[in-house]
Amino acid sequence: MNPTPEGHKMDKKRAILVVDDDQYLLSAIGQTLMLNGYRADLQASPVGALESVKKNFYSAVIADIRMPVMDGMQLLAEIGKMDRDLPMIMITGHGDVALAVQAIRAGAYDFLEKPVDEEVLLASLSRAVERRRLVLENRQLQEELARQSRQSFFRGMVGCHPLMHRLYDVVEMVAKESDPVLLSGETGTGKELVAQAIHQIGRPKGTFVGVNMAALPAEMIESELFGHERGAFTGAVGVKIGKFEYAREGTIFLDEICSLPNTLQAKLLRVLEERSFCRLGSNAQLPLQARIISATNKNLAEEITSGHFRQDLFYRLNVLSIDIPPLRKRKEDIPLLVEYFRQEYCRERQQTVPPFTAQQLEKIAVQDWPGNIRELRNHVRRSCVFGEPPEEPAESATAAVSAVAVAGEQGQQSLKDFIEQHEREYIIRVLSEHGGKVGACHQVLGLSRKGLYDKINKYEIDLAAWKKEE
């Protein structure tokens, strides 16, 4: 909104700073501005002008280009450091046109020649004030859009529930520190996303290295984490760089930390205490520079009591802790997540899938989703693939089991036959959606190209049918 003076009442947004060592010109410009509804702050010294800019808000600055101690060009540069969007109108003499052009290139809004024409001055000033207003409004709009976007989307996480807002705030606070972080949350709540967000904010130039402890054989964990030298053990035919070394000054994410064997828990504790480690088969100490983020879906207090997890290691890993809420505690976010996953699927497949109806979203939102976000995402993607209204997960699973049971009781199909029948139908559906193009379908189905051809031959699916349609 463009402020309009009412009587002698003037909005602070129409305050103009006038800077000139010529007292006569300074007073004349000041009087002209006040008669036309502006508030004029008059400064004979550029140094005083800079102090005023620090303390006050101005819509524009009018300054002589030639002044002692600090000229208009220097003043322009200094004000630009404090408020880059504050427009400056430079006043020049007849011989200073080249200097004025230089000022425009340096960021001045306009320049006026002496003697200053009152109408020209007011017209230029009006444009400068309007530009200032638009720039500030645009900045506020961008900040509001960023705030609204942040309410729902944050570093790959989706959710506008107060629990998620709190999580976003905690992530930002934790990311600024270098201490170890322990993430706790049920399976599928997005612990790795949280770890990646902490890394992106705190160590964006470093490498993010994730290690799932439960996915590694116990005998391989030490080598995977710390690396090994050639000949360190049978089969060590060359030097291997471990995850800790590869991460360097980035982040190491130790997922499912409770799966770490007790013997390696002691070694990890020592590494964290000494901030150094050795490759297997070497005595050379390598510095631990990476940040440690660990995660668990178990109750560590119970794990410690049962003797499955070392208490001293827990204290080392749990310097900063974050609890990630399960989906059932923020059901208001489910429609937002469903739409996010639908759009994700459409982008990946480059195809259009109609949005879910309000009734469908309502049926999805009432479920507890014990597998949390991962389960919900899988459910949405299945619905997108089959092009059918999503069923509640419990009903869907029950229906499938019941169908097999009924078929078995009636002696119509064995379990193997039932599975093969539905596999064939699913493959045909996907082939139909992609015009029989095997290259596009094998990725959707999670098969290699050869694997899909094997299935096509097994189920005697005729690819020529789609070619005839073309």
**What is the C-alpha R_g of the chain?**
34
Report the Cα 98 to chain-centroid distance in Å.
Answer: 47
Q: How many other CB atoms are there within 10 angstroms of residue 322's CB atom?
A: 20
Domain 157-325: state its class: alpha beta
Question: Measured between alpha carbons, how far is residue 113 from residues 51, 121, 145, 313 in Å?
Answer: 27, 10, 42, 74
Amino acid at 154: F
Model-wide pTM > 0.75: no
CATH 3.40.50.2300 assigned to domain 12-143? The reply is yes
Asked if domains 12-143 and 329-469 share a fold, the reply is no
Q: Encode burial over 272-281: b for 16+ CB neighbours within 10 A, e otherwise.
A: beeeebbbbb
Please give the backbone phi and psi of residue 48, each rounded to the nearest 5 degrees, phi first.
Answer: -65, -35
Q: Confirm if 37 and 11 have CB atoms less than 8 A apart.
A: no
> How confident is the model over 55-103, as pLDDT tens digits?
999 999 999 998 888 888 999 999 999 998 999 999 987 667 788 888 8
pLDDT of residue 350: 86
Domain 329-469: state its class: mainly alpha
What is the maximal distance between C-alpha atoms in the chain?
108
Residues 6 or more apart whose CB falls under 8 angstroms from that of 230 comprise: 236, 237, 238, 239, 281
Task: Print pLDDT tens along the chain (470 aa).
Answer: 333 333 333 344 589 999 999 999 999 999 999 999 999 999 999 999 999 999 999 999 999 998 888 888 999 999 999 998 999 999 987 667 788 888 888 999 998 988 889 999 999 999 999 999 988 887 776 676 556 555 678 888 999 899 999 999 999 999 999 999 999 999 999 999 999 999 999 998 999 999 999 998 888 999 999 999 999 998 888 999 999 999 999 999 999 999 999 999 999 999 999 999 999 999 999 999 999 999 999 999 999 999 999 999 999 999 999 999 999 999 999 998 998 999 899 999 888 888 888 788 889 999 999 999 999 999 999 998 887 644 555 444 444 444 444 444 444 555 566 667 777 887 887 887 777 888 778 777 777 777 788 888 888 888 877 755 44
Q: How many CA atoms lie within 13 A of 361 on its CB side?
A: 17
Q: What is the DSSP letter of 228?
A: B
Domains in the chain: boundaries:
12-143, 157-325, 329-469
